[in-house]
Structure 1
Amino acid sequence: MPDVAPPDPAITDAEALEAGRLLFAQNTQFVHAAQTVEGLLEARGIEVALAGRSNVGKSTLINAITGHVALARVAQAPGRTRQLNFFQVGEGRLSIVDMPGYGYAEAPKAVKRDWQGLMFRYLRGRPNLRRVLLLMDARIEDKPADHTIMGILDKAAVAFQIVLTKADKMKPELLARKHEAILAIARKHPAALNDVIVTSSETGLGIAELRASIAALVV
């Protein structure tokens, strides 16, 4: 039975994994929510943002990365997050940004336009944004909205890394095929990292590697 391809060796060696563990062993706290670009805090430290379709598991993954049970609230209904939520790690050298979900079909068009407009303006204009983690549900086929956001990230020259979520819901052979398919998509985008991290917030798969990948940005 085929296995998922191993992550980039640069984020799996013991030193990198330990750096990731130590970074997120610090206290993480919610510090700010912005509904407009004008409402953003002054840019300081490094920011890593999580983007993805509604219900992809952004809040759950933030909780898993930071080791908190309920730091980021998991919405009962997809599409409810309509602001940028900032979580400060430690003394502020790193902030994790939970972006509004995109592509939720049942959200009113006016609402989708407003919160997606905020997301796009943030991506294009935030000087300390070092990376976007683009979350995709391992169980679901990639959608036009996913490709739209990848194109915007390319144009904005914002480096992004695709992270597959909910991998525990997939059989290993199907997960391996999905990983290869998404990696092929990533290779077509100049702003994408040539590495797709497979994760499960339920089992902890890929969480240490994701922490290490983020820690490498904090110098």
Structure 2
Amino acid sequence: MEQGRLLFAGESRFFYAAQRIDQLPDPDLGEIAFAGRSNVGKSSLINALTGHRALARASSEPGRTKQLNFFSVAGRLTLVDMPGYGYAKANRQVKEDWQGLMFDFLRGRPTLRRVVLLLDSRIELKENDREAMTLLNRAAVIFQIVLTKCDVPKPGALAAKLAETEALARTYAAAYPVVLCTSSGTGAGIPELRASLAELAPAA
């Protein structure tokens, strides 16, 4: 926990954006990619982890993030805010462009250490969530499921959701065994996620 606190207490800054796979920055530090459905809270979670209100641009409008946004954490780790998938109102070509970029990145990035796959604790699992897990599993990309907006469900409902998600994670060989509950609003679960990600950063 202390290593996580120290890592994310360092300077965090945006440094790159890519809209096409041939625009990616040169591989350097280990990267943690944040993936999930549109409006699941990827940008808000990155802001909570880094202690910045607006480092990553969060919006109530689903599908706002349309590129890969790269953030340096203390010069030791890179966080990647990915385009959301499953945005129903996007036209077909836009969906294909966003998701093609995302999946090409996940399959081919040599510095990718883990994908943090966000699921909304308030709603049922969607088919495109399962599709994302299957893709990651087939590509042997380690992914950790993190539940978001966990301050909203009642304790009993949240406990049931967590148990369901943990059982689901056990069916995928590439899934990290620990599922975390988080809230960007209250800060719940943020220290635990920082600690988990700090394990992937080189020593200071």
**Would you identify which runs of 4 or more consecutive aligned residues in structure 1 move more than 3 Å?**
none
Tell me how far apart the structure 1 counterparts of residues 158 and 59 of structure 2 sit (CA, whole Å).
26
Percent of aligned pairs with the same residue? 59
- The letter for the 2-side match of 1:99 is M
Deviation of 1:124 (Å): 0.6
- The letter for the 2-side match of 1:106 is K
Aligned pairs for 1:125-140 (under 5 A) are: 125-140=108-123
Tell me how far apart the structure 2 counterparts of residues 60 and 218 of structure 1 sit (CA, whole Å).
22
Tell me how far apart the structure 2 counterparts of residues 88 and 193 of structure 1 sit (CA, whole Å).
23
Tell me how far apart the structure 1 counterparts of residues 135 and 66 of structure 2 sit (CA, whole Å).
19
- After TM superposition, the score normalised by the length of structure 1 is 0.91
Deviation of 1:75 (Å): 2.4
3-state SS of paired residue (1:217):
coil
2:8–2:73: 8 Å Cα contact kept in structure 1?
yes
3-state SS of paired residue (1:107):
coil
User: Where does residue 77 of structure 2 map in the other structure?
Assistant: 94
Tell me how far apart the structure 2 counterparts of residues 183 and 103 of structure 1 sit (CA, whole Å).
23
- After TM superposition, the score normalised by the length of structure 2 is 0.98
User: Where does residue 215 of structure 1 map in the other structure?
Assistant: 198
Aligned pairs for 1:58-77 (under 5 A) are: 58-77=42-61
Tell me how far apart the structure 2 counterparts of residues 76 and 172 of structure 1 sit (CA, whole Å).
25
- The letter for the 2-side match of 1:166 is K
The answer to whether structure 1 residue 79 and structure 2 residue 63 are counterparts is: yes
- The letter for the 2-side match of 1:56 is V
User: Where does residue 47 of structure 1 map in the other structure?
Assistant: 31
- The letter for the 2-side match of 1:188 is T
1:157-184: CA deviations, max 9, x gaps? 1000000000000100000000000111
Compute the RMSD of aligned alpha carbons. 0.7
- The letter for the 1-side match of 2:180 is I
Deviation of 1:82 (Å): 1.1
User: Where does residue 168 of structure 1 map in the other structure?
Assistant: 151
User: Where does residue 8 of structure 2 map in the other structure?
Assistant: 24
Deviation of 1:90 (Å): 1.5
3-state SS of paired residue (1:184):
helix
Counterpart of 2:105 (choices 106, 111, 122) is 122
The answer to whether structure 1 residue 109 and structure 2 residue 92 are counterparts is: yes
3-state SS of paired residue (2:167):
helix
Gaps spanning 5+ residues in structure 2: where? none
Q: How many residues get paired?
A: 202
2:39–2:60: 8 Å Cα contact kept in structure 1?
no
Deviation of 1:81 (Å): 1.1
3-state SS of paired residue (2:144):
strand
Tell me how far apart the structure 1 counterparts of residues 37 and 173 of structure 2 sit (CA, whole Å).
21
Deviation of 1:42 (Å): 0.2
3-state SS of paired residue (1:105):
coil
- The letter for the 2-side match of 1:134 is L
Gaps spanning 5+ residues in structure 1: where? 1-16
